Amino acid sequence: MSTSAVRRWRDELIGLLAAQAPRLDRALMKVAKQGGEVVLIDGTLIRTQRRTGRADRRNYSGKHRSHGLHFLVLTDEKGRLIWISAARPGRTHDNTADHHDHILTHLRAAGLGALADLGFRGLDNDIRDPVIVTGYAASRTHKLTPGQKDANRVLAVGRAPVEHGFAHIKNWRIFTKLRTDPARATQLLRALFVLTNLEVNR
C-alpha cells in the first residue's frame, strides 16, 4: 500500500470526525435545554514547531514567548467540552477570536452567561446585564478592595473546571510535534475534540 493512499485515508477520516464537532449555536442551545445557566470560556495556545519565513511570524505569541496556534474552548460548569473554535495564529488575542466567532451574540441568543478570565475584559460592556463575567483587575493607581478580591476568588473557583477540559484535549500526543497551518489544524483539533468527548463520556 502506498504512503500517499494511507495519507489520503487519514485525511478523509480526520475530515469525517471534524464534521461531527457541534456548531457554536447548537452547542449553546443544547446546554440551555438541559437546564444549564452558564458556560466556561477560555483561550489557549497549542505550541507548534517553528517554521522559517515571514508567514510564520504571526504564529508567534508574545504572551507565551512561543510559536503556536490559538483557539477558544467552551465547557459546561463541570468542565465537559461543548465547543472548540477554529485555530488561529498564535498572536491572536482572546477578544479578537471571540469577535470572529460572535460568541457574545450566541450567548445572548441562548440565554446563557459565561465565566471568563481577565483576557476577555472589555468584551461585554453591558453594565446592567452582563453576559460574560471576567472579574476585577488591579492597576498601579487602583488597588482591589477586599470585596473585589473575594469576587475574583469565587470566579476562579467557578472557572477551574475549564482547565480540566483543556487537559483532556491537550493530552493527545500529536500536540507535542504539531507542525501545520491553521486550516489543517482546525480539522485536526475538531476531530480530536470529538474523540476526546467519546473517550470521556464512555
pLDDT 10s digits, 71-89? 888 998 888 889 999 888 8
Rg of the chain in Å (alpha carbons):
18
Higher pLDDT, 126 or 186: 186
Quote the distance between the C-alpha of residue 155 and its chain's center: 18
Strands, DSSP E only, in 31-141?
A: 38-47, 60-61, 66-75, 81-84, 88-89, 113-115, 132-133
Using N-to-C axis directions, what is the helix angle for 103-110 and 24-33, rounded to 10°? 30
HSE, CB side, 13 Å, CA atoms: give it for residue 96: 9
135 burial class (0-12, 13-18, 19+ CB within 10 angstroms)?
buried
Using N-to-C axis directions, what is the helix angle for 94-101 and 103-110, rounded to 10°? 60
What average pLDDT does the chain have?
Answer: 82
C-alpha cell at 9: 485515508
C-alpha cell at 138: 488591579
Name the residue type at position 105.
T
Per-residue pLDDT at 27: 92
The pLDDT tens digits for 22-67 are 999 999 999 999 888 899 998 888 877 666 556 666 667 767 677 7
Per-residue pLDDT at 202: 65
